[in-house]
A and B are shown apart, each in its own frame.
Chain A
């Protein structure tokens, strides 16, 4: 009796071991392709930062490690603030961040960088934010930023409000209540959405942009998926989410200049490419002061730009080579395409890519 019980346990353990080991062995055994034979890189690269880049980073890491099988890249999506903090303290080789380094942070020292060298910001991930809605009988919706701000602030509460009707004369807007869905967790998406509203409708959206949603109105939902689900399952709902997740939901067009513009990857990349750089930065620091107030209808200003923050010059030459190779890969046409496929981001435009490439080349 006892023996048979033991035997059974052993059998289960054996099966589990086989199952688990077979699971773990899918990483290393990739067939060597043409590029891997040329790669001489090896070592470990650690990045910490924004969760917005999380799924893109996963795809990049997979692609990069396939080409450079001796390299291990780890990206821990702890959030932008934590990413910058650990980069400054030298705990990671690069940081992912939804905002560029502040002047205060740049004035300090960076433990992982060579003495007297500073850190630089490199835009690697552009994601348009879509305003999604689910209103019965309404397929198209035009909104200007003041109206959008009032909806999310709770000043406009019904769909047939005169302000919305004036922008959508042809739509059959119902009389029902608006449920405005925002992120209940802290998020760079919220910060960029708030930044857009704060810049373009400052007298309505008076709160400074930050990761948490600032007002006690509307409905909160966890994560991008939560917002999309809430909008999809509710009635008379509106929300904001990474454009790639909008799916079949209605997407509002926002007013840019005199026209209403829907998001496209090109329009999102265009606004980033043509926005001015932040003043007073080093030549190879590409911090972008996003032109939210653009009036050019080929631009879509409701966009999130996420940076990779790296040292201008590394203490450790091996790390420097790894960072250059990795950032070079993720900003290349191939890397940007991988991110577009897996995370729905908007690829960098060609002239921005040129600037980014020369900045990465300048890393020592």
Chain B
């Protein structure tokens, strides 16, 4: 609690034990993260080598090559995550704007807590909910969509009899990533300079116009990085997908059919328990691919955020 005296400017700065300890512990934390990441990467690469070198005919289901096996899974992973974001991002921005700019203070606080609570629900519970509540509930809607919009490749017949389709998974994942994107967007919208908002209002803008010209442009890089965080969650989600999705081993755009492209993470969860030998290597190799994809996603997100650094409160 004692403050150092200020009359030794020209000398080296004072270094106390506390400083040294603190510096050391932060350094350790930083290095530890890198070591963990490296350990995961090394494990994935080392364990997956046989998948690339061995004869692909020995892989379960004997695909023509490892890439033929992993291709549909990569597509499925990105496709499901894309659907989830398509639903979650507009919804999250809406919720965040409501909390920060529309709702009365007390309601805003409660709503904030409720949204954060969504993040605390385990994914197994979401999976159970998806199977036993959501899927049967949306199945009639899927039937209707297939009957009336069957000419669109997304709703091509035949419709799934149980509703356990990629669209259902997308909805569940959207609910799961919603709290992440909402919480971050909320913080970012709150950081909009009050002067900008007041200036917009003074110029005669309505509240919606003020949000459009002052809040959203300021928050854009933040929204992007929030969405990317959500995307990371959606790409890696395993349990809920494995439980809900009815998988097939090919690429399809259809949203409401029984046969859906599986995701990498769910495929590993489904097949790992009964796999041995080369099949384990193949599954770990698909894990490596997922690792690379998520790494790429984060890289792109950082690049976007960095480009708009000057305006962003996120850094």
Q: Is B123 at the interface (CB under 8 A from chain A)?
A: no
Q: Please judge, given known A-B contacts A184-B247, A222-B243, whether A237 and B162 are in contact too, CB under 8 Å.
A: yes
Q: Is A230 at the interface (CB under 8 A from chain B)?
A: yes
Q: How far is the CB of A245 from chain B (nearest CB, A)?
A: 15
Contact with A along B253-273 (1 / 0, CB 8 A): 000001100100000001101
Q: How far is the CB of A97 from chain B (nearest CB, A)?
A: 12
Q: Is A229 at the interface (CB under 8 A from chain B)?
A: yes
Centre residue among B247, B250, B274 by max chain A CB count within 10 A: B274
Contacts of A218 in B (CB 8 A): 258-259
Q: In the complex, A276 Cα to B230 Cα: how many Å?
A: 58
Partner of B132, one of A82, A187, A233: A233
Q: Are A236 and B270 in contact (CB under 8 A)?
A: no
Q: Is A216 at the interface (CB under 8 A from chain B)?
A: yes
- Interface size on A, as a range, is 35 or more
Q: Are A184 and B160 in contact (CB under 8 A)?
A: no
Q: Is B13 at the interface (CB under 8 A from chain A)?
A: no
Q: From residue 132 to 173 of chain B, which have CB atoms closer than 8 A to chain A?
A: 132, 135-136, 139, 158-164
Q: Please judge, given known A-B contacts A78-B276, A186-B275, whether A219 and B270 are in contact too, CB under 8 Å.
A: no
Q: Are A157 and B276 in contact (CB under 8 A)?
A: no
Partner of B270, one of A51, A157, A222: A222
Q: Are B274 and A211 in contact (CB under 8 A)?
A: yes
Q: Is A244 at the interface (CB under 8 A from chain B)?
A: no
Contact with B along A320-345 (1 / 0, CB 8 A): 00000000000000000000000000
Contact with B along A214-237 (1 / 0, CB 8 A): 001111111000100110011111
Q: Are B135 and A79 in contact (CB under 8 A)?
A: no
Q: Is A63 at the interface (CB under 8 A from chain B)?
A: no
Q: In the complex, A251 Cα to B276 Cα: how many Å?
A: 34
Q: Is B242 at the interface (CB under 8 A from chain A)?
A: yes
Contacts of B249 in A (CB 8 A): 216
Contacts of B274 in A (CB 8 A): 51, 78-82, 185-187, 211
Q: In the complex, A82 Cα to B270 Cα: how many Å?
A: 16
Q: In the complex, A181 Cα to B248 Cα: how many Å?
A: 12
The closest CB in chain A to the CB of B277 belongs to A85
Q: In the complex, A222 Cα to B266 Cα: how many Å?
A: 10
Partner of B162, one of A212, A222, A234: A234
Q: In the complex, A77 Cα to B160 Cα: how many Å?
A: 32
Q: Are A233 and B259 in contact (CB under 8 A)?
A: no
Q: How far is the CB of A98 from chain B (nearest CB, A)?
A: 10
Q: Is B131 at the interface (CB under 8 A from chain A)?
A: yes
Q: Are A236 and B161 in contact (CB under 8 A)?
A: yes
Contacts of B4 in A (CB 8 A): none
Q: How far is the CB of B145 from chain A (nearest CB, A)?
A: 15
Q: Are A230 and B162 in contact (CB under 8 A)?
A: yes
The closest CB in chain A to the CB of B140 belongs to A235
The closest CB in chain A to the CB of B262 belongs to A184
Q: Are B277 and A179 in contact (CB under 8 A)?
A: no
Q: In the complex, A78 Cα to B61 Cα: how many Å?
A: 20
Q: In the complex, A210 Cα to B275 Cα: how many Å?
A: 13
Contacts of A237 in B (CB 8 A): 161-162
Partner of A229, one of B132, B242, B270, B276: B132
Q: Is A17 at the interface (CB under 8 A from chain B)?
A: no
Contacts of A234 in B (CB 8 A): 136, 139, 161-163
The closest CB in chain A to the CB of B60 belongs to A212
Q: Are A78 and B258 in contact (CB under 8 A)?
A: no
Q: How far is the CB of A241 from chain B (nearest CB, A)?
A: 15
Q: Is A177 at the interface (CB under 8 A from chain B)?
A: yes
Q: How far is the CB of B212 from chain A (nearest CB, A)?
A: 44
Q: Is B246 at the interface (CB under 8 A from chain A)?
A: yes
Partner of B131, one of A187, A210, A216, A229: A229
Q: How far is the CB of A321 from chain B (nearest CB, A)?
A: 29
Q: In the complex, A78 Cα to B158 Cα: how many Å?
A: 36
Centre residue among A80, A178, A234, A237 by max chain B CB count within 10 A: A234
Q: Please judge, given known A-B contacts A212-B60, A216-B250, A229-B131, whether A179 and B273 are in contact too, CB under 8 Å.
A: no
Q: Are A79 and B275 in contact (CB under 8 A)?
A: yes
Q: In the complex, A80 Cα to B273 Cα: how many Å?
A: 10
Q: How far is the CB of B37 from chain A (nearest CB, A)?
A: 29
Contacts of B61 in A (CB 8 A): 212
Q: Are B259 and A82 in contact (CB under 8 A)?
A: no
Q: Please judge, given known A-B contacts A79-B276, A187-B274, whether A179 and B242 are in contact too, CB under 8 Å.
A: no
Q: How far is the CB of B271 from chain A (nearest CB, A)?
A: 6
Contacts of A229 in B (CB 8 A): 131-132
Q: How far is the CB of A36 from chain B (nearest CB, A)?
A: 34
Q: In the complex, A237 Cα to B242 Cα: how many Å?
A: 20
Contacts of A81 in B (CB 8 A): 274-277
Q: Are A177 and B273 in contact (CB under 8 A)?
A: no
The closest CB in chain B to the CB of A158 belongs to B158
Q: In the complex, A51 Cα to B275 Cα: how many Å?
A: 12
Q: Please judge, given known A-B contacts A82-B276, A212-B61, A218-B258, whether A185 and B270 are in contact too, CB under 8 Å.
A: yes
Q: What are 7 A-to-B residue pairs whose CB atoms are below 8 Å?
A: A51-B273, A79-B274, A79-B276, A157-B158, A185-B273, A186-B270, A187-B274
